Amino acid sequence: MTTLADRTITALRTNHDELTAFVRGLDAADLTRPSGCSEWTVAQVLSHLGSGAEIGLATLRAAQAGQDAPGQDFNHPVWDRWNAKEPKQQAEDFLTADAEIVSAYESLDADAREQLQIKLGFLPMPGSVALVAGMRLNEAALHAWDVRVAFDPAATVARDAAGVLTDLYAGPLDFMIGFIGRSDALDPRVATTLRVETTDPEHVLGLTLGETVGFSDAPDPADVTLSLPTEAWSRLLGGRLAPEHTPPSVTVTGDGVTLDDLRRVFPGI
């Protein structure tokens, strides 16, 4: 049986392989282009992914040894070291670091994928492999888009990654929606539950906007329906669905909430 952890790890591998092939084709000038991530160049996005991979690998190894995750005294020197690299070195070292963390997740057997608990300093309880690998996939898939969109305004998030992320957002990563969603972007006194219908692959879910932002059962009938490709849904939640990067198939029907409203609720971090 294929579990959510299995699917997440498979999507991490696909994302790594595709981004690796893309990055290997970039020259020095390409690496200094502005990326889709505000105020970062392509190389700086890769550096961020590389340092995150190094920290994530240390966190996974600590969990396997029954230890707490490394703290800020470990993380800050890692960030400083990566930030000091030249763009070409940031890109090359990203390829190595990302391969290492993906391989480490792939090496987990079935029992570890379901039972291993990983301690993270910013969560009150240890997280499952699906949760922690899912957080890595969320970051890796969106930042892969940040790299690609520097060269193609119509770039998309990979289909398999977007599909898995949609299941993760409504599952172990549901806490992230409350964290990244700006409940104060709309009138919190007026709660609205949208029906969200995504395609390729298909999902149907409810998104409640009010004093908090979170998932719920999909209303039927619904006052407002958001219809869009699954990859665009993952970009909307990640603050990456600006008008110039919105496919024409994205629609909002009904009264009370517009696509611009949703962009304000999910501005990205």
107: which 2 tokens?
Answer: 């090496």
Residue 14 in contact with residue 160, Cβ under 8 Å?
yes
User: Tens digit of pLDDT for each residue in 128-178?
Assistant: 999 999 999 999 999 999 999 999 999 999 999 999 999 999 999 999 998
258: which 2 tokens?
Answer: 């517009």
Domains of the chain, first to last: 4-153 (1.20.120.450), 178-265 (3.30.1050.10)
Residue 254 falls in which region: left (phi positive, over 0), alpha (psi -120 to 50) or beta: left
Whole-prediction pTM: 0.95
| Residue 94 CB-density burial (10 A; 0-12 exposed, 13-18 middle, 19+ buried) | buried
User: Tens digit of pLDDT for each residue in 213-240?
Assistant: 999 999 999 999 999 999 999 999 999 9
CA pair distance 241, 16, nearest whole angstrom: 23
